[in-house]
Amino acid sequence: MNTPYKSIVVLTGAGISAESGIQTFRAADGLWENHRIEDIATPEGFQKNPVAVHDFYNQRRRHLLQTEIKPNSAHSALAKLEHELESYPDTRYLLVTQNIDNLHERAGSKKLIHMHGELLKMRCCVTGLIFEIQQDLTLEQCCRCCRQPGNLRPHVVWFGEMPLGMHEIEQSLMSCDLFVAIGTSGNVYPAAGFNQTARHYGAHTLELNLESTGSTFDEHRYGRASETTPSLITEILRNLSQIQAFNDNYR
């Protein structure tokens, strides 16, 4: 990679948080191994058995809030990229995550879209207002807006629902020159189609994963996100600083 990129979009999935101790979905020991997707991750499943759905997200929230769950070097490298790019006013950067954990923010990322929602937020089904939450969410809980029990749900995007921030994501995909997908299996749309959109509009597309997902990218790098991500970010920043130094010398 020698070109200094001017507009970068990074998509992350469960694989980037796996080394922080958060289960992925589709591994043999993943979250979907013991849960049926239609029971847990659809509006119909929530309607049928809200207690089971609350229980699933309550357990994941409790786990996320344990002290040993921390961002890893992949999250930190992406936060560093965002921070360093601030010195290059003509570059653009967007981080899009499918993850509902808060590890990107905790690593220092600021320009971030949680397209599948956030585990530490809940939403009123009636008013759509969003509130922060650290404790368990129950059917008995009344929300601060409508003051009725049973109207609160996890602020996550289930199958059949519209992911969040799609307009900004699509605009960025159409204008980026580098698209990187880290630790996602490419099973869930629309995220699974982002590489094709970016590629169609001329971006170089790069997949970082433990193994091949079978998706079409210009380039694949296999290995743990905690290793491949920092080395990619070093490469991107080195190319940028070299071209900057060159321009400064010949100005």
Taking residues 116 to 135 in sequence order and writing x for each that binds ligand BJW by CB under 6 A, - otherwise, the string is x-------------------
Residue 30 or 50 having the CB closest to ligand BJW: 30
Within 25-54, the residues that bind ligand BJW by CB under 6 A are 25-26, 30, 41
Q: Does 225 bind ligand BJW (CB under 6 A)?
A: yes
116 is known as an active-site residue: yes
Cα–Cα distances (Å) from 134 to 63, 113, 124, in that order, read: 11, 20, 16
Q: Which stretch binds ligand BJW (CB under 6 A): 85-93, 106-114, 144-152, 153-161?
A: 153-161
Report in angstroms how near the CB of residue 251 gets to ligand BJW at its nearest.
41
Q: Measured at the alpha carbon of residue 199, what is the angle toward residues 197 and 202, in degrees to the nearest 5?
A: 115
The one-character DSSP state at 166 is H
| Best CA proximity match to 103, nearest among 245, 215, 248, 225 | 225
Angle, nearest 10°, between helix axes 73-85 and 225-249?
A: 20
Of residues 60 and 91, the one with the C-beta less far from ligand BJW: 60
- The Cα 149–Cα 138 span in angstroms is 9
* Chain residues in the site for ligand BJW (CB under 6 A): 13-15, 18-19, 24-26, 30, 41, 98, 100, 116, 156-163, 166, 183-185, 187-190, 209-211, 213, 224-225
